[in-house]
Amino acid sequence: MKMNWPNLAALALCASAALSAGTASAAQIKEVRFGVEASYAPFESKSPSGELQGFDIDVGNAVCAKLKAKCVWVENSFDGLIPALAARKFNAINSDMTITDQRRQAIDFTDPIYTIPNQMIAKKGSGLQPTPAALKGKHIGVLQGTIQETYAKARWAPAGVDVVPYQTQDQIYADLVSGRLDASFQDAEAGSKGFLKKPQGAGFEFAGPAVSDEKLLGAGVGYGVRKNDTALKDALNGALKELKADGTIDRIAAKYFDVKVVLK
C-alpha cells in the first residue's frame, strides 16, 4: 500500500518530535502497540464479528509472541498513521506501509518483510492501460495517503487524469461498481482478495500490467517506527528474521496470497 506525505515541512516536524522522545531498552519491551488501518484485505480487515484479521495481523501477532510481548492494535486512518506514530498513539506502524525515501524523512523502518505488485482494476473489456495516454479524462480511485496516490498524481494527473483520493478502500470499490470511477489503483493482492474474488467484483478485472517505479512505489513493506526507537526496531528485526528463517511468515503468506511475497 500505502502512504505518501506531500508536506515536507510536516515530515520534518514529525521527525523532530520523534527524536525528542525517549525509548526503552529491548529488555523492557513488554507490549507492542501497532497502528493499523483495517480496511485493506487481505492485509488487514475486520471479520463479521469485528475481529481484526489478515496477513499483517497474523504476522504482527507472531512477532509479539516471539518477543513474549503483548500485542495491542490501534486503529487509525492510513493517511494519519505517521502523525499518530510521532504523537505516540502507538509505537509501530503495521499496515502494509511501503518503505520510501519520502517516508524515511519522518520515520524509520524495519528491514523489508514483503513486497506486493501494484495494479489497476477496471471493468472487463475496458481496454484501459496504466498509462497517461490511456487514462486521460478518466476517473481513477486511490486510497488517500498511499504510494498509489503519490504515483498517480505524479505520473498520471499532469496528463489530464482525474485522480480521486478516498479515505477507505471499500469506498473506492463501491464507487467503481456504481460507475463513478473508471478504475482503481491498489496493491494487486488487495485488489484480488478484497474485490475481484468477491461477489461485488464480478465483471471487473486487472487492467494492464503491474506498475513498477522504485522511486515512488518503493521496494518493500516494513514496520514504521520512530527514528530514535532503536531498541524496538532491533527487537522487531530480530523477531522478523527468526520468523522468516523458520518459515512462519511464508506459511502465513500462503494462507492469504497467490504469489510468493516474503523477502529474505
Residue 38 belongs to some domain of the structure: yes
Looking at the structure, tell me whether residues 151 and 245 fall in a common domain.
no
Instruction: Kindly state whether residues 230 and 178 are assigned to the same domain.
Output: no
Same domain, 37 and 127: no
> Do residues 109 and 236 share a domain?
yes
Residues 102 and 160 in one domain: no
The verdict on 195 and 156 lying in the same domain is yes
| 58: helix, strand or coil | helix
Burial class (CB in 10 A: 0-12, 13-18, 19+), 20: exposed
Residue 229 structural domain? 8-115+219-256
| Percentage of residues of the chain with pLDDT beyond 90 | 78
User: CA-to-CA distance for 112 and 37, rounded, in angstroms?
Assistant: 19
pLDDT tens digits, 123-141: 999 999 999 999 999 999 9
- Render pLDDT for 137-166 as a digit per residue (tens, 0 to 9): 999 999 998 999 999 999 999 999 999 999
The CATH number covering residue 109 comes to 3.40.190.10
Max Cα separation, the chain? 57
The C-alpha atoms of residue 25 and residue 131 are separated, in whole angstroms, by 48
Domain count for the chain, please give it.
2
The percentage of residues in the chain with a pLDDT greater than 70, rounded to a whole number, is 90
Give the pLDDT band of residue 64 (cuts 50, 70, 90). very high
What is the tens place of the pLDDT at every residue in 203-257? 999 999 999 898 899 879 999 999 999 999 999 999 999 999 999 999 999 999 9
CA–CA dist 30, 213 (Å, integer): 38
Q: Which of 24-33, 44-53, 154-163, 234-243 has the lowest mean pLDDT?
A: 24-33
Same domain, residue pair 122 and 240: no
